[in-house]
Structure formats: structure tokens, C-alpha cells
Amino acid sequence: MADLATPSAAAISTSGASKTAVDSKDKAPVVKPERPDEEAYKTELTKAEKDLKTAEERMKAIKSKVDSARPNNKDSPSAQRQQELREELKTIRTTQQSSKSSRGQVLDKIKRLDQNLKARIAEQKL
């Protein structure tokens, strides 16, 4: 049966047979992990806290810039421009709404005329 096995299967089946009791003695002894250095931990922690503080200060500065860019009063030019754009958007929406409703009315009229036409055709066939 071993003659019929594939080479990879034969290698797998015989790979564990060559080990003996002598091999287990040659293994390296188990090494326990060292105790973590508390001073190194504290120095890394203080460095990380310092980096965090600088990042928070940068974030506050950026937020203040963003807040200053927003218009607080309605008389500023950017606020007036926003208001103009909102009004334009409102007019566009109303025109689209009216065109959509008129299109629906036209389709309803076409549907009614089509039904009348089909009814007249059916009457003529009788």
C-alpha cells in the first residue's frame, strides 16, 4: 500500500517515525519571560501623555479656526450668500414639483384617452 501512496503522503506518514527519545533531550529549556521594566513603562507613559496633550491643543486650535470661519451673524457676506443659495434651491424645488405634477396630469389624460379608444374599438368589433 505504501508503494501506491503519493510522495507527499509518504513523507508525511514517515516524518514522525525518525524522532527518538534522544531528540526530546536536545530541546532548549523553557525560558520564562522577564519582568517588565517599570521605569521604562513610566517614561513611555509620560511621553504618550505629552503627545496626547499636544494633539489635543492642535485639535482645539483647528476647531477654533473652523468656528471662526462659520458666520455667526446674518449680516456677513457668507451668510447672505448661503441665504441666496437656499432661496434658489427652494425655487428649483418648487419648479420641479410643479413640472412633476403637470407630467402626472398629462399621463392621466393619456391613460383616460387610451381607455376610451380601446372601449370604442371593442364596440366596433361587436
pLDDT tens string 53-86 = 999 999 999 998 888 777 677 777 778 888 899 9
* pTM: predicted TM-score of the whole model, two decimal places: 0.36
Q: Residue 16 has which C-alpha cell?
A: 514522525
8 Å CB contact between 64 and 58: no
**What average pLDDT does this structure show over 83-96?**
95
**What average pLDDT does this structure show over 104-110?**
93
DSSP state letters, the chain: -TTTS-HHHHHHHHHTTT--HHHHHTSPPP-PPPPP-HHHHHHHHHHHHHHHHHHHHHHHHHHHHHHHHS--STTSHHHHHHHHHHHHHHHHHHHHHHHHHHHHHHHHHHHHHHHHHHHHHHHHH-
